[in-house]
Chain A
Amino acid sequence: MQFIRISLMQKLIFMFVMVVLVPVSIISFYSFRDAKASLETAAFEHLASVRDVKRSRLIDYIQERFNDLALLSESQATIDGLEKMQHQAIVADGNFGIGSFEYEALYYEINQVFSKISHSYGYSDLFLLSPDNGYVMYSVEREDDLGEKLSSGALKNSGLAQVWRQVVEKNKEVMVDFSLYAPSNNEPSIFIGAPVKKDNKLIGVVVLQLNIEQLDKLMEVQSGMGATGQIYLVGEDYLMRTNSILEEEPTILTQKVRTTAVEEGIKDLAGEYIGFDYNNTEVLSAYSHVGLDEAFGVDFEWVIVAEESTAEAFAPIRALQKRIITIGVGLVLLAIVLGFIVARSIARPLNDLSEKFARMADGDLTIEVEPSRRSDEVGILVNSAGTMLTTLKEQTGAIIDSANNLASCIGEITATASQLAAGASETSSTISEVSATVEEIRHTAKLSSEKATQVEHDSEEMNQVAVEGEESSQQAVKGMKKINDEMEYIAESIVNLSEQTQNIGEIIGAVNDLSDQSNLLSVNASIEAAKAGEYGKGFAVVAQEVKSLAEQSKDATGQIKNILSDIQKATSTAVMATERGSKAVESGVGLTENSGQTISTLQLNIDDASQAASQINASSQQQLAGMEQLVTAMENIKEATSQNVGAARQLEDATHDLSDLGHKLNEISAKFTI
């Protein structure tokens, strides 16, 4: 997928640029890298060689000084001088009597030899020391140290004292490291000393104070190190042992240098690397230990360091880089200009043509393509496009005309087909309705035939039922009459019962009178008993009993009376009920007789209905047969019409398709404007 549309011209220009840029970049990258590597290597080699040269020269220088010392210690002049001095010391009671006439005379005698030696070899000073106590017996420069006692005096810790001590101790040549020496204005001094022997007996020590300037000059840079190049010595205490040529102030024993180079050098290693110096400047550094220990057997060591700042050393590399970038940019600009010119000559006619083709694609055929005068491929392309456009115009016009004609024809056909289809489907639906109606009629006829058969059947059953009904009603009449007789008998019985109860009532009246009288009798008996006084008391009890009996019998008769009156009421009700019952039975008899007659009439009617149903059945059968034939005929018609409808539909569909085709053609041709 392409999100940004890049024109042909842009592409061509881009290609040109790439063709220039890629090889230039690759060539510059590799050449720059190789150049840088070789330049670096050359710088390191140069430094290393300078370092080695300086180191060997330093060793040679010190070796020369030791040679001088050896010569001096073995010369007869030294031995004589020492002997004379010692003799003078004995004369002056251990003190040399410095300043005395005798000493000054001796000094003058010795000095003629030694001052010449000292000055001609360029030493700072020359000392003769006594082996015991280390008296400074002689000094060329006659500084404050003359006559001092090194074993215990103010100078007992000075470099001179150390030399004396070591020489006496080791009985051989000794060199001590730099130290500040007070008598020489506290300047850094370095001493070498040797024993002076006569007949294998130590008679004195000769010491040389080396000239620092000579050492510095030795370390001064030769040509080829640039402005920032320097070589210096560093002791094991990380303090410088030479004066830096880049610093204004003296740096011996004051400037501390604790760089990787020094650390490595102290460990007796040598090497080159890019790092930082004591001023935190980036430098190329070559270092090595000097090897004083191996060369002279001394107990200290120095590191020699050769440095040059990277800014100066790599300046040619930067210049090369700048030149490559300038040339590359120039080439790219040239490629852009050339690319633009070439691309325009190819892309412009193609661009015009593509715009015209885009309009053609939208259906616009009114455009004109001007013929090109160019004879290359672009020219041929433009001319051919013009020809093609003309042909296309003619063909499209013809198609549009045909499409219009086709559309009108199709319209007519479609209308006719639609009418035909509508007519056919109408006929079909009408036939469906008719056949549905026929089917219903047929169904109805069948149903009526069935019903008629059923009616016939039912009427026979009903006839039987009617005969049974008649018999039943006759039996019912008989039963009713029997019930009537029974009812009459019941009525008589009840009347009898009523009479009996009345008799009982009369009897009860008599009993009631009896109880009344016995009550009265009891009262009289009580009266008589009362009159009889004490004797009648027992009788009074009897009278009381009689009275209670009379009352009881009276209560009983009362109850019987109540019961009797209930019975009488019940019997009269029963009499009434039986009368009503017998009347109901009579009416029932009448009704039963009526129903018997009705059933007979019904029987006759049922017979008539049965005959009618038979006739209906026969006629419905005939109707059914006719309807069956009608149904078959309608089915045939229906099938024919449905085929008609199908055909009409197909016709309609076909015309629709045709119409769609015409429309599409119209649409397609409408896209073109001529």
Chain B
Amino acid sequence: MNNNGIFDSEIDLEVLQKRAKELSRLHQEECDDDYVELVEFTLGEEHYGLELVHVREVYPLHVLTFLPGVPKFIKGITNFRGQIISILDLKVFFELEDLNLSDQTRLIILKSKNMEFAVIVDALIGVCRVPGKQISAGLPTLSGKRAEYLKGVGPEGVIVLDALRLLEDPTLVVDI
């Protein structure tokens, strides 16, 4: 810097621009890492969430075809845009009470490379963005199978389930 002006030196200007870019990129990366998008829903009285990246679609339950000789957590199958997919009842799977269906009942279709199935939920709330840091490790009160598929507990008591683990769980594969 000299006494004649602020941006006299080209070298100085270059350095400053470079630094600004670095700073902005760093911030953006942090932002992307920070937030997790969740599809929020209810099972009974409790709020749950599934990572949006693993969700293909949400869909109303129109027709449910029961299948004989399957574990109880398999509710049945349904026709989804010309494709037959199985329906997992999470309330049975997590050994929760109150198994009734209502007009609010919805299907959330989960999808990975190898697997695709629907879970039945009592009511769909919507999509929300949660800061990743705010998702805490877990709760000692959540016992049983739920603890296995638990990713954490978000703000306002939303139980975040590990969708990937559900999709890759071999126990869910029914082989007849």
- Which of A's residues lie within 8 Å of B, judged by CB? 516-517, 519-520, 522-524, 526-527, 530-531, 540, 543, 547
Contacts and interface: CB of A to CB of B under 8 A. Distances in A.
Contact of A517 (B52, B53, B57, B60): B60
A530 B52 contact: yes
A530 B32 CA distance: 12
B126 A520 contact: no
B58 interface: yes
Most chain B beta-carbon neighbours within 10 Å: one of A517, A519, A527: A527
A547 B58 CA distance: 14
A531 B58 CA distance: 14
Interface string B106-130: 1000000000000000001011000
B128 to A, nearest CB: 10
B39 interface: yes
B37 A520 contact: no
A526 B59 contact: no
Nearest to B128: A526
B56 interface: yes
A274 to B, nearest CB: 159
Nearest to A529: B127
Nearest to A523: B58
30 contacts: A516-B60, A516-B103, A517-B60, A519-B124, A520-B58, A520-B59, A520-B60, A520-B106, A520-B124, A522-B126, A523-B39, A523-B124, A523-B126, A523-B127, A524-B57, A524-B58, A524-B59, A526-B52, A526-B126, A526-B127, A527-B39, A527-B52, A527-B55, A527-B58, A527-B127, A530-B52, A530-B53, A530-B127, A531-B53, A547-B126
Contacts of B60: 516-517, 520
Contacts of B126: 522-523, 526, 547
Interface in B31-86: 37, 39, 52-53, 55-60
Nearest to A540: B127
Interface of B: 37, 39, 52-53, 55-60, 103, 106, 124, 126-127
Contacts of A519: 124
**Which 8 pairs show the lowest CB-CB distances between chains A and B?**
A526-B127, A530-B52, A523-B58, A527-B55, A530-B37, A524-B57, A524-B58, A520-B58
Nearest to B57: A524
A571 B79 CA distance: 45
Interface residue SS majority, chain A = helix
Contacts of A522: 126
B116 to A, nearest CB: 14
Contacts of B55: 527
A522 B127 CA distance: 9
Contacts of A543: 127
A305 B103 CA distance: 182
Contacts of B103: 516
Contacts of B106: 520
Interface residue SS majority, chain B = strand
Nearest to A513: B103
A328 to B, nearest CB: 162
Given A517-B60, A524-B57, 19 more contacts: A516-B103, A519-B124, A520-B58, A520-B59, A520-B60, A520-B106, A522-B126, A523-B39, A523-B58, A523-B124, A523-B127, A526-B52, A527-B39, A527-B55, A527-B56, A530-B127, A531-B53, A540-B127, A543-B127
Contacts of B37: 530
Contacts of A526: 52, 126-127
A526 B127 CA distance: 7
Contacts of A517: 60
A531 B51 CA distance: 11
A531 B127 CA distance: 13
B106 to A, nearest CB: 7
Contacts of A523: 39, 58, 124, 126-127
B126 to A, nearest CB: 6
Contacts of A524: 57-59
B4 to A, nearest CB: 44
Contacts of A531: 53
Contacts of B127: 523, 526-527, 530, 540, 543
A531 B111 CA distance: 12
A547 B128 CA distance: 12
Contacts of B59: 520, 524
A526 to B, nearest CB: 4
A549 B39 CA distance: 19
B35 to A, nearest CB: 11
A511 to B, nearest CB: 14
A3 B124 CA distance: 146
A516 B60 CA distance: 9
A523 to B, nearest CB: 5
A569 B103 CA distance: 26
Contacts of A516: 60, 103
A547 to B, nearest CB: 6
A517 B103 CA distance: 12
A489 to B, nearest CB: 41
A582 B145 CA distance: 69
A543 B126 CA distance: 11
B121 to A, nearest CB: 11
Nearest to B52: A530
A527 to B, nearest CB: 5
Contacts of A520: 58-60, 106, 124
A519 B53 CA distance: 20
A519 B52 CA distance: 17
Most chain A beta-carbon neighbours within 10 Å: one of B39, B55, B56, B127: B127
A530 B57 CA distance: 11
A149 B52 CA distance: 196
Contacts of A547: 126
B103 to A, nearest CB: 8
Most chain B beta-carbon neighbours within 10 Å: one of A520, A522, A531: A520
A540 B143 CA distance: 36
A563 B11 CA distance: 74
A588 B56 CA distance: 74
B166 to A, nearest CB: 17
A10 B52 CA distance: 170
B111 to A, nearest CB: 11
A517 B106 CA distance: 11
A516 B106 CA distance: 11
A70 to B, nearest CB: 184
Contacts of B39: 523, 527
A592 to B, nearest CB: 57
B40 to A, nearest CB: 10
Most chain B beta-carbon neighbours within 10 Å: one of A530, A531, A543, A547: A530
A366 B58 CA distance: 167
B63 to A, nearest CB: 16
A544 to B, nearest CB: 8
A483 to B, nearest CB: 48
B37 to A, nearest CB: 5
A517 B104 CA distance: 11
A531 to B, nearest CB: 8
A518 to B, nearest CB: 12
A523 B126 CA distance: 6
Contacts of A527: 39, 52, 55-58, 127
